[in-house]
Amino acid sequence: MRKMLAAVSRVLSGVAQKPASRVLVASRSFANDATFEIKKCDLHRLEEGPPVTTVLTREDGLRYYRMMQTVRRMELKADQLYKQKIIRGFCHLCDGQEACCVGLEAGINPTDHLITAYRAHGFTFTRGLSVREILAELTGRRGGCAKGKGGSMHMYAKNFYGGNGIVGAQGQIFEAYNMAALWKLPCIFICENNRYGMGTSVERAAASTDYYKRGDFIPGLRVDGMDILCVREATRFAAAYCRSGKGPILMELQTYRYHGHSMSDPGVSYRTREEIQEVRSKSDPIMLLKDRMVNSNLASVEELKEIDVEVRKEIEDAAQFATADPEPPLEELGHHIYSSDPPFEVRGANQWIKFKSIS
Amino acid sequence: MGPPLQPNQCGSRLGAPPSLPAECGGVACKPGLRVGMAVAAAIACRLLRLRAAGAGGHWRRLRGAGLPRGFLQPASAGEDAAQWRRVAHFTFQPDPEPLEYGQTQKMNLFQAVTSALDNSLAKDPTAVIFGEDVAFGGVFRCTVGLRDKYGKDRVFNTPLCEQGIVGFGIGIAVTGATAIAEIQFADYIFPAFDQIVNEAAKYRYRSGDLFNCGSLTIRAPWGCVGHGAVYHSQSPEAFFAHCPGIKVVVPRSPFQAKGLLLSCIEDKNPCIFFEPKILYRAAVEQVPVEPYNIPLSQAEVIQEGSDVTLVAWGTQVHVIREVASMAQEKLGVSCEVIDLRTIIPWDVDTVCKSVIKTGRLLVSHEAPLTGGFASEISSTVQSEAKLEKETGSSDSWLICGPLTR
């Protein structure tokens, strides 16, 4: 029965009778959920880890797909805008790492707090900001989430503390590990291991590449960061661990970024194009989710294609807005340096032009 | 004229300017000083010298334009060695009892700080104090009794990691709590410099006012103490003066300290509060028991005068007060003494107004001369203040402290 319906729908969509095919698709019954096996996580100082099977509902699956596709298209649009010089400054893209941000968000509550480094566009989106606000921030316009003054590395939202340009060097991380473990703070430390620190491969930069073990006295997990379900389960496990009062935990997500470190890095001087292609064809997170969903009848290819189209449109609209929105006025340059009442004068690069530090 | 000028070898060989161990107190002078000021300071210095050395001063006396240079020529090496006093000397000058804030109590500087912290923790349920060794009361006894009174969740020790202390403080402040961090000595603040300058100072700006760590206050003992040497004597205010987004405050007395510290804690910007450690016990005053605020970014004219403006902060305020009274007594020079109080953002108007009135400026601080905050004051005054008395020269004197070389 199902096969017949599928055949009929194929014929009809071939005739491009869109409304008719949509009706057909809607009447096709999908599974409500499916169970999948996921890779077992390597453990450090833990007796047991996250489960090796998980249930994905159709609704969740579609939502994750849409979110990952949005992040992917948003990053590619940012790449395009950067090359057109509409986005300037620094831009660190996270395409390839969508499973990390979407999977993480799936495993925590919106009331949990998240802070990250500069590869933050994906997290900014999953934490609740719209693509419009993100792209407008990248182009430095008023409609941006930090009013156009923060840029790529300084995006903030409720319960999302950025987006930070300066990141913890090793010393700072270890001090943080110590304090978190000493006071049993419910904190998940996450390392998105995309195999390269800027242009240096982890093998050449780290005495030990088992990052999940480097918390030493803090337990750790190594997670397949290209599989969104694996990330989700690991996050749920880690969150439960922290919430039970046992203290901090570390998660290393093994992932990959397709772009270079930033837009000024072509990304091929320290790795081969073949390597990038291989990851793209074998472990692309969106492709993996799509295959899973289609093969277990959680969604159809057409349905997912429709989502693709909708996402593309959303991104286009956002890019339009981001390009057309006016820049913040020059007076805002001095705002929020201090919180001061009455505001006082700040001198800019030109000593005869003063701005008011209104806040 | 006289032998070439030797910087950093004036006055304090006498053991004065006070508060500093002998071999210190550089005077940086440029040729072509305004004669009036030169004379005043020269005589002041010389008098201090005489006072220490006894009646038969060994300074050469030169007349005329060579006077400043000649005066600044130190006595030859062997002669006065015995006369050099290597003991810190200054006299804390308490202010009169404040009557407008209710009942007062005799407190020294660390007790005034404890009182301010006590008031803060009582008023603000989100306030927490943390740092190395604060739980038992702190190495300078500034937090004595607070852990017993407010509990171990509000007054607690951190591991030995200044970067972590300030980073942690920024985090707490961003979530809305009032964070009062203690760095055990200002000399140790440098590992936290990145956190202060790159994170704390810029948090509000870079997030477009969505987040801020304004409720962070960092306290640190500051300045010379006589026996502190390299790592227990530093005055790092100039390093932080270069950073918009934070406020830096230095009190001169217990009454000032409590009011300024309470203002820092309540201020919506991250503040660094430097406490002159030599005054912790030496400064005793009547201080109100109830909380009160002294506004930030307002300098105080402690003593009005008409001939020269003397600016200082922290311990040096007492030094220049003494200098001012000596100058008045012996030379009839009327000095206007200003305590800057807030280093950044500093009160340009008060200082400029004063210099316009007197026509002469002398800034004194303990920190090294080059790049010290006096250079900022001096250059700003010279560019901003429209001097009515044009004396043809735009030099100013910077007298600086022990680590000046």
Q: What is the CATH number of the domain that holds A184?
A: 3.40.50.970
C-alpha span between A210 and A204 (Å, rounded): 13
Q: What is the predicted pLDDT for the residue at A7?
A: 59
Distance from C-alpha of B257 to C-alpha of B249, rounded to nearest angstrom: 9
What pLDDT sits at residue B399? 47
The answer to whether the CB atoms of B244 and A346 lie below 8 A apart is yes
Please indicate, yes or no, if residue A157 is contained in any of the structural domains: yes
pLDDT single digits (tens) B297-340: 999 999 999 999 999 999 999 999 999 999 999 999 999 999 99
Q: Is A281 a member of any domain?
A: yes
Listed in sequence order, the residues at least 6 apart from A11 whose beta carbon sits closer than 8 Å to its beta carbon are: none
In the structure, what pLDDT confidence band is assigned to residue A9 with cuts at 50, 70 and 90?
Answer: low
Local confidence band at A5 (pLDDT 50, 70, 90 cut-offs): low
The answer to whether residue A4 sits within a structural domain is no
**Domain presence at residue A71:** yes
Nearest CA in chain A to B296: A340
How near does any CA of chain B get to the CA of A53, in Å?
Answer: 37
Flag the least confident range among A15-24, A157-166, B148-157, B337-346. A15-24
Token pair 């439960």 is found at: A240
Say whether residue B159 is in contact with chain A using an 8 A CB cutoff: yes
pLDDT at B247 over 70: yes
Per residue in A157-170, pLDDT (tens digit) is 999 998 888 666 78
For the ranges B73-77, B83-87, B181-185, B235-239, the lowest mean pLDDT is seen at B73-77
Contact B206 A166 (CB under 8 A): no
* Contact (CB<8Å) B208/A338: no
A196, β-bridge pairs: A201
Does A175 touch chain B if contact means CB atoms closer than 8 Å?
yes
B162 carries an active-site annotation: yes
Question: Is residue A319 situated within a structural domain?
Answer: yes
Residues of A in contact with B210 (CB under 8 A): 145-146, 156-157
Chain A, chain B: beta-carbon pairs less than 8 Å apart: 80
A354 touching B (Cβ < 8 Å):
no
- Range of A197-211, B21-35, B347-361 with top mean pLDDT: B347-361
For chain A, what is the domain count?
Answer: 1
Supply the pLDDT for residue A149.
85
Active-site residue, from B58, B232, B300, B376: B232
Would you state the pLDDT for residue B19? Answer: 38
Question: What backbone torsions phi and psi does residue A312 show, to the nearest 5 degrees?
Answer: -55, -40
Section A174-194 average pLDDT = 95
Among B58, B89, B97, B162, the active-site one is B162
B386 pLDDT band, cuts 50/70/90, is low
**Residue B84's CB: how many other CB atoms inside 10 A?**
16
**Neighbouring residues of A296: CB distance < 8 A, sequence distance ≥ 6:** A31, A34, A36
| A129 CB within 8 Å of a chain B CB | no
Region B168-173 average pLDDT: 96
Task: Give pLDDT tens digits for A151-160.
Answer: 899 999 999 9
Q: Which of A161, A340, A359 sits opposite B174 (nearest CB)?
A: A161
Mean pLDDT in residue range A203-216: 92
Give the chain A residue whose CA is nearest to the CA of B346.
A344
Closest-CA residue of chain B to A333 = B205
Answer whether A154 sits within 8 Å of B269, measured CB to CB.
no
- Please indicate, yes or no, if residue A308 is contained in any of the structural domains: yes
Quick one: closest CA in B to A179, which residue?
B159
Partners of residue A209 on adjacent β-strands: none
Per-position b or e across B229-268, b if 16+ CB within 10 A of its CB = eeebbbbbbbbbbebbbbbbbbbbbbbbbbbbbbbbbbbe
Domain of A216? 41-334
* The pLDDT of residue B198 is above 50: yes
**pLDDT confidence of residue B9:** 36
How many other β-carbons are positioned within 10 Å of the β-carbon of residue B331? 17
**Region of poorest pLDDT, from A247-251, A267-271, B121-125:** A267-271
Give the model's confidence band at B67: pLDDT under 50 very low, under 70 low, under 90 confident, else very high.
very low
pTM assigned to the model: 0.80
Paired with A35 in beta bridges are A55
pLDDT, residue A1, reads: 62
B158 contacts in chain A (CB < 8 Å): 179
Is the pLDDT at B23 greater than 50? The verdict is no
The residue whose two tokens read 């019954």 is A29
Q: Has residue A149 been placed in a domain?
A: yes
Q: What is the mean pLDDT of residues A221-245?
A: 97
Q: What is the mean pLDDT of residues B36-57?
A: 39
Tens of pLDDT along A120-132? 999 999 999 999 9
Is residue A347 a part of any domain in this protein? no
Q: Given an 8 Å threshold on Cβ–Cβ distance, is B345 in contact with A335?
A: no
d(CA A133, CA A319): 10
